[in-house]
Amino acid sequence: MKLKGLLFGLGGIALLTTSFLVLIVDERSLIQILRVLSSIGLLIISSLMLIIAWKLLTMRPAPPAS
């Protein structure tokens, strides 16, 4: 539960920061910032997917029930 709270808190901070960036930064710079943030997000998601796939592939099967 603490992890979920931490994730929601970080998400809220990210949205708040993005809303301030929209007000402060001009359109061209904002598009560059959003491109960088989206590429970082895709990198994190793809890394997590690869880690999960590796864990599933190398997981040992459960011993047979007697």
**Do the beta carbons of residue 21 and residue 13 sit within 8 Å?**
no
Q: How far apart are CA 57 and CA 62, in angstroms?
A: 14
CA angle 31, 41, 1 (to 5 degrees): 130
Helices (H) and strands (E) in the chain, counts: 2, 0
Number of domains the chain contains: 1
Residue range(s) defining the domain that contains residue 13: 2-58
Structure confidence by residue, pLDDT tens digits, 1-58: 678 888 888 888 888 887 777 778 777 887 888 888 888 888 888 988 998 888 888 8
In a domain, 63, yes or no: no
- pLDDT class of 66 with cuts at 50, 70, 90: low
Residue with tokens 């099967």: 61
Q: Is 66 among the domain residues?
A: no
The span from the CA of 10 to the CA of 49, in Å, is 21
